[in-house]
Amino acid sequence: MFEYIVRRLWQTIPTLLGVVLLVFFLFTWVGGDPAYLLAGKISNPEQIENIRRQLGVDQPIHAQLWIFIKQIATGDFGVSWATNEQVSDIFLTRLGPSLTVLVPLLVVDTVLAIAAAMLVAYVRGSVTDRVVMITCTVGQSISILVYIIVFQYLLAYRLGWFPVQGWGNGFAENLLTYSLLPIIVGVIVSLAPDTRLYRTFFLDEINQDYVRTARAKGLSETRVIWVHVMRNASIPIITNVMIQLPGLLVGAFLIERFFSIPGIGREVLLAVERSDFPVIKAVTIYVAIATMITNLLADLLYKAVDPRVQLK
């Protein structure tokens, strides 16, 4: 196991290097020159040159790449070009609000989707199954923007159950007052596709020979479904959940923006609008690293869930 982990971590280095090169050249050649934006309404060539020098974008490409690699190695991405705030501070202060919304959202969505999928898979072909599937298909076809606008209007403005937008000062206040509506919207948006997906995982297992054998042995339906089927369907479910984990780092752009949640997703949008490359580059690298780590964790979880899985 230890050797496997070390080998997998070792393999992340060339992958990360590829990401670094891709990000660097993409931003260097496509990103444009931020100096003109930072220079303000009126500027002269001397000022533009001064800004370029301070940002380091006047240096040769290889020197800029080396600085970028050093930033990744030290975890110090410098300061935001727009606000002079330390990039690391941006992440530290914005991660909390993003996680306050997205962790409960992911947990609630996963639990509900598994329960719903299990139910409809068990009664496959029934009216319940068809109604749930049609509802999921319709629900999945509607844009998240529509959900946000309608729910914000109905639940927050018309019924007054939640604030329209905002963010408080304490964790409890934020979770119980300001996050509830964004979580509800997020769960409803995610529930439909996840239920459909997990249903197919359960159906694949329910029709397997070992299920028939277990029933023939006289095991209760509860044990058949919750122990045998569930364990075998867990691997693709774990894969799906783990894929979503790096997304917690970048937040949910639209939800954060509409509900004024000071999370990372909103900050990334802002950074793109301002051509604030230190922030954008840091986000990209963090997400790449998080993706590689969660992939490794997923593999380890496979082994924990199903001992037949061999880690090579």
Partner 1 sequence: MKLGVLRSAAISILVAITLHAASEAADRSKTLHVTFQVAETGFDPTRTSDYYSGQVIEAIFERLLTYDYLARPAKLVPSTAESLPEITDHAKTYTFKVRKGIYFTPDPAFKGKRRELTAEDYAYSIKRFFDPKNRSPYAFLYEGKIVGLDELGAKARKTGRFDYDAAVPGLEVPDRYTLRIHLREPDYGFAHIIAFDLSGAVAREVIEAYGEDTNAHPIGTGPYRLKQYVRSSKIVLEANPDYRGMVWDFQPGGDPADREIVAQMKGKKLPVIGNVEISIVEETQSRWLAFEKGETDMEYQLWDLSPTFMAEDGRLRPRFANRGIKLGRSVDPEITYLYFNMLDKIGDKPNPVGGYGREKIALRRAIAMAYKIDDQIRVIRKGQAIKAEFPIPPGIAGHDPAYKSSIRYDPKTANALLDRFGYKKGPDGYRRLPDGKELVIRFSSTPTEIARQGDELIKRSLDSIGIRLEIHKERFPDLIKLERRCRLMMRGASWIADTPDGDNFMQLLYGPNTFQSNNACYKSAVFDRLYEKSRTMPDGPERNRLYRQMTRQMEADTPWLLIDSRYRNMLMQPYVIGFKKHPVLHQEWMYIDFDSKAKR
**Cβ distance to partner 1 smaller for residue 117 or 183:** 183
- Taking the C-alpha atoms of residue 122 and residue 199, their distance in angstroms, rounded to an integer, is 9
- Taking the C-alpha atoms of residue 7 and residue 16, their distance in angstroms, rounded to an integer, is 15
Q: Establish if 183 lies at the interface with partner 1 (CB under 8 A).
A: no
**Cβ distance to partner 1 smaller for residue 48 or 305:** 48
**Binding segment (CB under 8 A) for partner 1, from list 12-20, 114-122, 133-141, 163-171:** 163-171
Token readout for 119 is 């139910």
CB of 36 to partner 1, least distance (A): 4
**Binding segment (CB under 8 A) for partner 1, from list 61-69, 109-117, 150-158, 284-292:** 150-158
DSSP code of residue 81? T
Of 153, 161, 210, 226, the residue at the interface with partner 1 (CB under 8 A) is 153
Residues in region 22-41 near partner 1 by CB under 8 A: 32-34, 36-41
Residues in region 64-83 near partner 1 by CB under 8 A: 79, 82-83
Of 1, 14, 29, 45, the residue at the interface with partner 1 (CB under 8 A) is 45
Site string for partner 1, 274-293 (x = CB under 8 A): -x------------------
Of 14, 44, 141, 308, the residue at the interface with partner 1 (CB under 8 A) is 44
Cα 22-71-5 angle, rounded to 5 deg: 75
Half-sphere exposure of 293 (CA within 13 A, CB side): 10
**Cβ distance to partner 1 smaller for residue 182 or 241:** 182
Q: How many chain residues bind partner 1 (CB under 8 A)?
A: 47
User: 41 CB contacts (<8 Å, ≥6 apart)?
Assistant: none
Q: Establish if 152 lies at the interface with partner 1 (CB under 8 A).
A: yes
What are the start-end ranges of the H helices in the chain? 2-30, 35-38, 45-55, 61-74, 87-122, 127-141, 144-151, 171-173, 180-206, 209-216, 221-223, 230-250, 253-258, 264-273, 277-305
- The total of other beta-carbon atoms located within 10 Å of residue 210's CB is 12
Long-range contacts of 271-274 (CB under 8 A, 24+ apart): 271/80, 271/82, 274/37, 274/81, 274/82
Of 149, 176, 304, 311, the residue at the interface with partner 1 (CB under 8 A) is 149
Half-sphere exposure of 38 (CA within 13 A, CB side): 21
Q: What DSSP string describes 95-141?
A: HHHHHHHHHHHHHHHHHHHHHHHHHHHHTTTSHHHHHHHHHHHHHHH
**Cβ distance to partner 1 smaller for residue 112 or 156:** 156
CB of 269 to partner 1, least distance (A): 8
CB of 260 to partner 1, least distance (A): 5
**Binding segment (CB under 8 A) for partner 1, from list 122-130, 161-169, 239-247, 289-297:** 161-169
Q: Establish if 257 lies at the interface with partner 1 (CB under 8 A).
A: yes
Cα 101-300-296 angle, rounded to 5 deg: 65
Which residues of this protein are in contact with partner 1, per CB under 8 A? 32-34, 36-48, 50-51, 54, 79, 82-85, 90, 93, 149, 152-153, 156-157, 160, 163-167, 169, 257-260, 262, 266-267, 270, 275
